[in-house]
Amino acid sequence: KAGVTQTPRYLIKTRGQQVTLSCSPISGHRSVSWYQQTPGQGLQFLFEYFSETQRNKGNFPGRFSGRQFSNSRSEMNVSTLELGDSALYLCASSSPGADKNNEQFFGPGTRLTVL
């Protein structure tokens, strides 16, 4: 079974631009979560999607948004980029159902650099 894939792997943008990151979960997984990882803040939860609906949301400004498609693929968008948005963005998928113990499988991440 293929793992979680994220595209692109690396991205360089300038302040004020917007960016869209993509995540394809493991086949059959319906839950997709997004995290931002920075050296200073560690791993911060952005949002989780399940069956095309946002199920949970972290404490990030409205510039950060996401969506999930019917095939469970997910995208996140960041508008009006700031220098502080430079980070590794990780996507994780988990198997169907509402089991709180579900293991998350992470993708390799997208390294975003904002200049």
Q: Check binding of 67 to another protein (CB under 8 A).
A: no
Site string for another protein, 15-54 (x = CB under 8 A): ----------------x-x-x------xx-x--x------
Residues whose CB falls within 8 Å of the CB of residue 82, separated by 6 or more in sequence, listed in order: 15, 114
Among 26, 81, 92, 112, binds another protein (CB under 8 A): 92
Q: Which residue has the tokens 């911060």?
A: 44
DSSP state of 72: S
d(Cα 50, Cα 112) in Å, to the nearest integer? 25
b (16+ CB within 10 A) / e for 78-90: beebeeebbbebb
Residue 67 or 79 with smaller CB distance to another protein: 67
100 is a site residue for another protein (CB under 8 A): yes
Q: For residues 80 and 102, give the distance between their C-alpha atoms in angstroms, rounded to a whole number.
A: 34
Among the residue ranges 12-20, 68-76, 78-86, 97-105, the one whose residues contact another protein (CB under 8 A): 97-105
Summarize as ranges the residues that interact with another protein (CB under 8 A).
4, 31, 33, 35, 42-43, 45, 48, 55-56, 58, 88, 90, 92, 98, 100-109, 111
